[in-house]
Every structure is written in C-alpha cells, then in structure tokens.
Amino acid sequence: MGSKTLEKLVSDLVTGRIRIVDLTVTLDPSTPVLPLPTEFGWGVSWPFSVETISRYDEKGPAWYWNNLKCGEHTGTHFDAPIHWVTGKDFENNATDTLPVDRFVVPAVVIDAVAEAEADPDFLMSIEFIRKWESEHGEIAEGSWVLYRTDWSDKISNENYLNMASDGSHTPGWDPSTITFLAEERGVVGVGVETVGTDAGQASALEPNFPCHNMMHGANKCGLASLCNLDQLPPTGAVLIAAPLKIKDGSGSPARVLALVPQD
C-alpha cells in the first residue's frame, strides 16, 4: 500500500494525539424543535418520540428495541440543499444522493459568544468574518464554517428558543455573509448551535431565511443544534457529519463528530 496516512491517523487516535469530540445533542422528547408560526397554516415538525417495542419482556424476551418518530430536522441535524426551494433543482441534492465527500471535511470555528450574549438577535457580518480571517487565515475552500455562540448551553431551558410575542430571538447571519461564504469562500456549508441555521427573526430579513435561501441556493448544506463547539480550535479540526440515507430526504438527525489535533 502506498500511503501510510491512515496508519498514522489510527495511531494518532489510539495515542490521543487526535481526540474525537461529539458535537451532537441527545435526542429525547424534550429536544427543542423549530417553532415556526402556525398562523399561516405552515406544517409542524414532529418532536422526537420513542415507543418501546420490547425490552427483554413478553414482547421480546431477549431483545430491546424501539420505534422512533420525528421530523427530519430534529435535534442535531443535517440540512441538504433540497430542503429549500432555491436548492430543489440541483443534481444529487438530497440525503441519499449527496456526494459522500461532503461528509468528511475540515471545519473552522468562529467565536461569537460575547456578541450573542450581548444581543440574542446578533447577525454575523462579513466584517466579522474578515476580522476572524485576519487572525486565523482565510477560510479554506470546502470547509464547514461553525458559528460558536455557546447557545447549546441553553438547550434544556426556554432560553434556547428564546420566544417572545414576536417570535424567537436567536443569533444568525447577515444575508450578505451567506453570499460571501458560499461564493467567495466555497464552503461546504455552515453549522450552528441554535435550533436552525437562520436567526430566530430571519423571517423578517430580506430575503427571508437568508441562510436557508442562499446556502441551499448555492447547493450547500447546513448543520443545526450542534454542541461542544467550545472544545474545537478555530482551525484544524475535521468534521464527520452525515445524514441518514433517506430516499429524497431533505435532512436528518445526524451524529456529528470532530477530529481534533491535540498538539
């Protein structure tokens, strides 16, 4: 065999020179789901629920298993380009057809913890990204851009969705930032700690839901409800993030892992 790369990777994993960080929240019936307003007649995403088939009992004396129910966009999950109308006509744009090379790529982590703390409606600007790049280098083509807010700390309380009479207040992206990341940086997509990749107030932006509209409109992907981004370096991590292979699926819950060099 020519390359020793995988042998080196495995030995680095075994010796702890590379650590694996789980960026996934636990799925349970209390896992928050997107609170889209219902007054327009929009459909509702089912929360996660689980029903036990058997647990070493009369329904199955030696086996434990469950039936599950949830929307595709529940908990830590993957958004495929077909999720949005702007991405509907690309080839290989669904969970079963996306090229698998998108599922193992580098990640950069942009820290906006202080900004999100000061303003729950904070929208990340191009200037904010450029400042990050002046410290950490230009975002490499084919990377995930992960938006660190530490918002996942709130997952088990009402501050996660942060609902008010005018809807949810959670951080997101200025529309121009999405165009910049998609077109000037050629990212694979963006990942966030909030319930969806757009800001809580994104239905009022122009275009509405700009991250969904323009990321998927550029045939790119999303990751939502990530956690443990505080354990990642600004650059140098590699993400393993793959959706379930649902036929023509728009997304799915995913187990998202990061490989993180320790030196």
The residues of the shown chain that bind ligand 23J, judged by CB under 6 A, are 34, 36, 73, 79, 83, 196-198, 209, 212, 224
Catalytic residue among 77, 83, 212, 216: 83
DSSP 217: H
Q: Which tokens is 244 given?
A: 């379930």
CA distance 231 to 23: 9
The entry of Mn ion, ligand 23J, none that residue 198 binds, CB within 5 to 8 Å by partner kind = ligand 23J
CB closer to ligand 23J out of 25 and 34: 34
Q: Could you tell me how many residues make up the chain?
A: 263
Residue list 58-117, contact with Mn ion (CB under 5 A): 73, 79
Phi, psi of 105 (to 5 degrees): -145, 165
CB closer to ligand 23J out of 177 and 237: 177
Q: Which tokens is 253 given?
A: 């819950």
The entry of ligand 23J, Mn ion, none that residue 209 binds, CB within 5 to 8 Å by partner kind = ligand 23J
CB closer to ligand 23J out of 70 and 224: 224
- Asked, as a colleague might, if the bond just before 207 is cis with ω within 30 of 0, I would say yes
Convert residues 239-258 into a mask of x (bound to Mn ion by CB under 5 A) and - (unbound): ------------x-------
We find the least distance from the C-beta atom of residue 141 to ligand 23J, in angstroms, to be: 24
CA distance 47 to 163: 17
Is 212 an active-site residue? Answer: no
Q: Are 197 and 223 in contact (CB under 8 A)?
A: yes
Active-site residue set: 83
